[in-house]
Structure 1
Amino acid sequence: MSSHKAVPHPCAADKIRSSARELFYNQGIRAVGVDEIVQKAGVTKPSLYRAFESKDGLTTAYLIDYQQTFWGRIDAICHNHPDNPRAQILAYFDDLALRAAQPGYRGCALTNAIVEYPDPDHPVRREAARLKHEIREWIQQKVSNLKANDPDLLTDGLILLIEGVYTAGQVFYPPGPVIKAGKLARLLLQSSGISADQE
């Protein structure tokens, strides 16, 4: 008798999420229809509506999945630089610089969703904004553990740098200015009185 366990097949909802993530990120949310998603996933349209109720529901799930990828990167960075907020911040920007300098980079899914959905009351826009605030809170918490001259100014500067990388990575031919994100983050920290001896 074989001792191998059967490998579970992805359920329809998982296939839909995976297909939607690829299509939404590469083409834009509004540009992709439900028919295209289910065709790529190899499932039926009722399967999508049973799992997510609507395209907006699927889009919200897509944004949450995208944010989980972000937190996965952050967890790895914190594991590699324990109890060192300065090194964690810089490791994030060094990694972002490399990712944003790759051909085909499409920026941040949350930022893109906010641009696509200008109505602040739209559920997709609200969810994207909520997740964006989580990222700002992470930066703010890291900065609060450093002896910055002006913690609020430094937090805002780092957030503006992040958002600038998301856009510039799509505008300029690789590697473009985004490759310097880590160097710029170091300048921001230095200008706020945070030196390498805080590592």
Structure 2
Amino acid sequence: MRLVVDRGLPEATTLTPAGERILAAASTLFYEQGIRTVGVDTIAEAAEVTKKTLYDRFGSKDKLIAAYLDRRNRVWHAFLDEQLAARAPGTPEEVILALFSALTDWIAGSRKGCGFINASVELAAPDHPAMPVIVGQKQWMRSEFKAQASLAGLADPDELADRLLLLHEGALVSFRVAAMERAPEVAWRAAADLLAGWPRV
């Protein structure tokens, strides 16, 4: 079994070497220190470019933030593909649980929690260029849960997808905010119980 929902990702933009350095530096700094606390001067210095080069490549800090989250989203999807290939789930229910299992390994390398949730807290403006990336990432997760539930023949896949997304995102928030180290494992067990008791069509 595999992921079935269209990723909806536009073709990745090809960057110059300087653009790649800027995006790499911004990605590390935004995630580790926070989007609002990191200025373009700091990013330019870390990338060993001028501020003019940064603006020439990305146009604005806001567009650089959007590029950072777009890149992180692509990394997340590639990570999920690797996880599913390694776990080889055989049923849609196993795909759903594999998505929860993947959180354990993802969080191990992402100690600051979910970059998308963190960004949504910092970016208050609903028309910020990065908001479609943030919202799209969460909507895609819900759509994948719904699609797998439908393939499994489970009743009311919309309601089930809502509950699964709450468990998935709740694990990310609990890990970061409540210092709940085993949040992904707890969420996996809750999802397994939910699936086991869910009625079929």
Q: Does the pair score TM above 0.5?
A: yes
> What pairs up with 1:151-166 in 2 under 5 angstroms?
151-166=157-172
Structure 2 counterpart of 1:6: none
Q: 2:181 aligns with which of 146, 152, 175?
A: 175
Structure 2 counterpart of 1:126: 132
Structure 2 counterpart of 1:11: 17
Q: CA separation in 2, counterparts of 1:126 and 1:59?
A: 12
Q: CA separation in 2, counterparts of 1:98 and 1:181?
A: 14
Deviation string for 1:108-144 (max 9, x for gaps)?
Answer: 2112211111222222223321232222222222222
| Greater shift in the superposed pair: 120-129 or 51-60 | 120-129
Q: CA separation in 2, counterparts of 1:148 and 1:187?
A: 14
Structure 1 counterpart of 2:94: 87
Matched to 2:44, the amino acid is V
Structure 2 counterpart of 1:114: 120
Q: CA separation in 2, counterparts of 1:176 and 1:92?
A: 16
| Greater shift in the superposed pair: 62-71 or 91-100 | 91-100
For structure 1, the 5+ residue unaligned runs are 1-9, 195-199
Contact 1:97/1:165, CA 8 A, preserved across alignment: no
Structure 2 counterpart of 1:31: 37
> How many pairs were matched up?
184
Q: Which secondary structure does the structure 2 equivalent of 1:123 belong to?
A: coil
Alignment partner of 1:40 is 2:43: no
Structure 2 counterpart of 1:97: 104
TM superposition shift of 1:172: 3.2
Alignment partner of 1:184 is 2:190: yes
TM superposition shift of 1:104: 6.5
Structure 2 counterpart of 1:61: 67
Q: CA separation in 2, counterparts of 1:35 and 1:97?
A: 35
Using structure 2 for the length normalisation, give the TM-score. 0.82
TM superposition shift of 1:159: 0.6
Change (3 A) 1:104 1:110: closer
User: In terms of Rg, which structure is larger?
Assistant: 1
Q: CA separation in 2, counterparts of 1:68 and 1:22?
A: 15
Contact 2:113/2:172, CA 8 A, preserved across alignment: yes
Contact 2:19/2:57, CA 8 A, preserved across alignment: yes
Q: Which secondary structure does the structure 1 equivalent of 2:116 belong to?
A: helix
TM superposition shift of 1:30: 1.0
TM superposition shift of 1:98: 4.2
Q: CA separation in 2, counterparts of 1:162 and 1:178?
A: 8
Contact 1:97/1:181, CA 8 A, preserved across alignment: no
Contact 2:80/2:102, CA 8 A, preserved across alignment: no
